[in-house]
Structure 1
Amino acid sequence: MSSLTVLVIDDEPNLVRSIQFSLNDQNIDLHAAYSGNEGVKTFTTLAPDVVLLDLGLPDMSGLDVLTQLKDHSPDTPVIMISAHGDTRTAVKAVKEGALDYITKPFDIDELELLIRRCGEQQRLSKELRFLRSKQRHTQRIIGNSHNIEQLREMIEQVGNSAAKTILISGQSGTGKALIARSLHDIRFNNAPFIEINCAALPEQLIEAELFGAERGAYTGSVQKRDGLISLADNGTLFLDEIGEMPLPIQAKLLTFLENRVYRSIGGGKERKANVVVIAATNKDLKEAVDAGAFRADLYYRLNVVPISAPALSERTSDIALLVSFFSEQFAKQEGCKPPIWSDDVILQLKTYPWPGNIRELKNLVERITILYPGQTAMPKHLPNEYRQNPTPPKTEDSNYSSVVENKERELILSALSQCGGRKGLAAEQLGISRHALKRRIQRLHIDL
């Protein structure tokens, strides 16, 4: 594990020494500044991974320091340190860009956990920025696993080749359309990218949609219609779910792939189109050929340059990076802060089989971002199917003590959820001491 650089900006030397002593870890490199001006100068030269910033500094307010830090490096996570009873200002700081806040006196274990989570989030953000700058055309393909590195190399190689027919195969939700778009962007600067889902149209319409139709060619054809092949001329035609294309249309498509010549429905004149054809399927086309559901000659014509999209279960090391990417995306869309994903949650997500692949993961991240913005996502926040030990269904219990315990457990979990898993804040909200809260958690066997 690489070292985590932490800058503490606080005017209390005893507190700073206490933090340094408590976080005496070879993987945490802690630096201190005792005023706002000193903190800003140290921040610009040190470029820390995480900042602990006191709200009450001798020379300027913590909010003013926060503004200067964010002007210099908007992405560096800042955790505010507030005195007891000053939570209103701390909440204001969070609204102005701080990632979180803790109240004195705080639990050092809780602080260390928060620092490490912020550091991990910062690491993932840096990794995303690096991937985006590394390869402009394949920056949409998020991940750094071996499978994804191979996929990026394949996309770059094929995109820079003269290949005119490409077949992308992979399970549903693996990002085949994203691969097709990346291939197009490598090949063309300003050219049409025309997409059609072969499973979305009935046989009677798909031919007209692809090849076009003359006026009066069929019932309801009151005017001439240009097909998608014509619209994709000098660009890319993306045929998604090619395995669902009806057999009669497959024959006409094969003719077009052989020489890039076609006829519209009802037309007597042959037309040419200079089109790169990218087909995608979540089926095993070889099995479809054996079953008579797909033409063998079309399969061999399409399978000139095959590209395989790996399933998410084959690249679980990318899950943390994908979660971070989608969290930022949906947080920006919702106008909120992204949730902080605990290590336990990421571990559970890595053990899930992901039948819906990246599409399913994206939907889950959107759900958590909407329901728990800016909070720490814990295993209990996940839907039951994603948890290794799902919550058993509730049963009615006439025993009075059990009813009281269930209500007590419900209140504690609710307070912890609202406070992002921070026991100190949850205890304050419940009106009990931190130690009393810990005893109740142990007595009620609450699994955090």
Structure 2
Amino acid sequence: MSTSDVLLLKVIREALCSADRTSSRLSALPSLLGWFQEKIGGQRASLISSKDDGSYRVWCSRDSDGKKIKKAAGTISHHAFQQGCKKEEPTLFSDVHLDRRFRTSSETEGVARSRWILVIPIAVSGEPTALYLDSRFGSSHASTKDDPDAALILSLIELIVDLELKREDVPGSEQPANSSQKPAEKPARIPESPPRTVESHFGEFTSFSAVLAVTLAELRKIALTKLPVFIEGESGTGKELLARAIHQESGRKGPMVVLHCGSITESLIEIELFGNEKGAFTDAETERPGLIENASTGTLLLDAVDECSPALQASLLRFLESGVYRRVAGEEERVADVRIVACSGVVGDDSNIRDDLYYRLAGFRAWLPPLRERPEDALMIVERGLSAATAHTPTLLPDAQALLLSHSWPGNGWEAIHLASRINASGHEIVDGTLVLELLGKQSTGQTSADPGIREVLTLAEREVILRALDGADGNKSVACKTLGISRRTLYRRMRKHGIPLKGSTREGS
């Protein structure tokens, strides 16, 4: 019998052969995890589950010395774990140190980042669970595909975790009194200040923005009420998509009906909103319901409400104040059961919405930042466009990702969607920085060389991030340091490196 077979048999004995079955099952997990760690060559390994409350349950963990990892939940890339669990086979993420979506809360300034992450989903009921291995060195070439030993160990882990989860679900079930082994390391909530990217889902609306994560969490509660919602943001930031998500999550049975406020003529306002009775005007041969009636038990979206004419604003205000309306030429007062969501592309004093109407629409205000303030979302839109439109999804190299993250996205989501379409149309299976620059129309701007290397592109991205932080802080370097998560000394050193003036306007001559 070979040495590897002896070790495998020892691990299986530990998992199955003991008088104290519950304790034995759980105490075997580190050995089973260690077998995978040695097989793959990972510097760190963890067996983790994602709980409903946003925390990680760490069943066991091992560092390179075989010891338990302190604060193991902080070493988990939330993005890698979520993406890996969506698949039914092991997923290897390479060069993750070049992609900030994979950053963890423990990877602070000056700490070396992992170079690769391997996520192996575990088929258990109740909680998304996976083996999570990573390393700060080299690359992983080992594979567990078609490996019968790996399949056996994985099945044992699945069995142990599944049994434990089912035991917890049984009312009155307790941990055996003689068990000295804890069922798992203490569940650790994902930090209040998480990695730079946190994936949030609200209906069909998805974002990696930490700022939007707070808004979406509040909207989950607001959606269940009848409170009107006022969504503000530049064109292409996803206002209508967010409005549809609110309708989806509201549980309302009726449809979502859209009124494009800027396209309705004054002579048709009453008819479009409230409908008309038969004979109300020439050619009115039948009665016709209005948009409010069509949206009954559903949602009425007032799109581009900042483009409302004064007459339309007056009609909306009268309806919102009373909640009742009458069809044109009708005598019956009808009560509307409709949720109002309004979208505006103009913010603050520049809007022509009358104050009394605004305060009736803005029961809850939701601000959608432009993509230049949430570049991770721009990258997500491009990647989704690439994966949805072709049989063979093009691969974005790290230098291409860095360019997309540093782009200002003046066209917001539409620009990202069109870029993905152009990449698909180009027929390239590998997308590098040169192609991205060409498609963005920057090949002649002098921002980078015609054939940029990854180091040059990352330098460009770092410079742009620093400039934006300084602009957002109005030149206040202390505030910029907090935003960037670096020391003042590091900020000065990097400003000199990128030719950013230490005094005066940071954009002058840069």
Is 2:241 aligned against 1:186?
A: no
User: Gapped runs of 5+ residues in structure 2?
Assistant: 1-112, 120-134, 156-197, 451-510
Distance 1:317 1:2 in 2: 19
Matched ranges for 1:87-166 at <5 A: 135=201, 138-163=202-227, 165-166=228-229
Aligned to 1:26: 137
Distance 1:44 1:238 in 2: 54
Distance 1:4 1:45 in 2: 22
Distance 1:222 1:215 in 2: 5
Aligned to 1:55: none
How many Å apart are 1:189 and its aligned residue?
5.2
How many Å apart are 1:139 and its aligned residue?
4.6
Aligned to 1:18: none
How many Å apart are 1:315 and its aligned residue?
0.5
Distance 2:118 2:332 in 1: 72
How many Å apart are 1:384 and its aligned residue?
4.3
How many Å apart are 1:229 and its aligned residue?
0.4
Is 2:340 aligned against 1:277?
A: yes
Instruction: Provide closer, same or farther for how the CA distance between residues 44 and 308 of structure 1 changes in structure 2, counting only shifts above 3 A.
Output: farther
Matched ranges for 1:187-266 at <5 A: 187-188=250-251, 190-266=253-329
Instruction: Provide closer, same or farther for how the CA distance between residues 387 and 154 of structure 1 changes in structure 2, counting only shifts above 3 A.
Output: farther
Distance 1:324 1:300 in 2: 38
Distance 1:235 1:27 in 2: 55
In the TM superposition, what whole-angstrom CA distance separates every residue of 1:354-386 from its partner, at most 9, and x where no partner exists? 12211221121122123225x111233336472
Matched ranges for 1:50-61 at <5 A: none
Distance 1:355 1:391 in 2: 16
Aligned to 1:15: none
SS in structure 1 at match of 2:207: coil
SS in structure 1 at match of 2:140: strand
Structure 1 length as normaliser, TM-score?
A: 0.56
SS in structure 2 at match of 1:144: strand
Instruction: Provide closer, same or farther for how the CA distance between residues 241 and 27 of structure 1 changes in structure 2, counting only shifts above 3 A.
Output: farther
Distance 1:160 1:198 in 2: 26
Q: Compare relative contact order (CA 8 Å, sep 6+) and give the higher one, 1 or 2.
A: 1
SS in structure 2 at match of 1:345: helix
Distance 1:246 1:281 in 2: 14
How many Å apart are 1:239 and its aligned residue?
0.9
Q: 1:345 aligns with which of 400, 405, 417?
A: 400
Distance 2:402 2:143 in 1: 33
How many Å apart are 1:326 and its aligned residue?
2.4
Instruction: Provide closer, same or farther for how the CA distance between residues 41 and 206 of structure 1 changes in structure 2, counting only shifts above 3 A.
Output: farther
Distance 1:231 1:144 in 2: 35
How many Å apart are 1:174 and its aligned residue?
0.6
Distance 1:219 1:257 in 2: 29
Give the counterpart letter for 1:156 in structure 2: R
User: Gapped runs of 5+ residues in structure 1?
Assistant: 8-23, 48-129, 393-408, 410-448
Aligned to 2:359: 300
- Contact kept? 1:348, 1:387, Cα under 8 Å: no
Matched ranges for 1:294-373 at <5 A: 294-331=353-390, 336-372=391-427
SS in structure 2 at match of 1:142: strand
Aligned to 1:425: none
Distance 1:151 1:255 in 2: 30
Distance 2:138 2:259 in 1: 51
Instruction: Provide closer, same or farther for how the CA distance between residues 369 and 213 of structure 1 changes in structure 2, counting only shifts above 3 A.
Output: same
In the TM superposition, what whole-angstrom CA distance separates every residue of 1:391-415 from its partner, at most 9, and x where no partner exists? 89xxxxxxxxxxxxxxxx9xxxxxx
SS in structure 2 at match of 1:306: strand
Instruction: Provide closer, same or farther for how the CA distance between residues 148 and 41 of structure 1 changes in structure 2, counting only shifts above 3 A.
Output: farther
* Identity score, percent: 29
Across the aligned residues of Structure 1 and Structure 2, the Cα RMSD in angstroms comes to 3.2
Distance 1:348 1:311 in 2: 17
Structure 2 length as normaliser, TM-score?
A: 0.49
Give the counterpart letter for 2:141 in structure 1: L
How many Å apart are 1:236 and its aligned residue?
0.8
Give the counterpart letter for 1:377 in structure 2: V
Distance 1:168 1:187 in 2: 16
In the TM superposition, what whole-angstrom CA distance separates every residue of 1:205-237 from its partner, at most 9, and x where no partner exists? 343222111223234333211001001111111
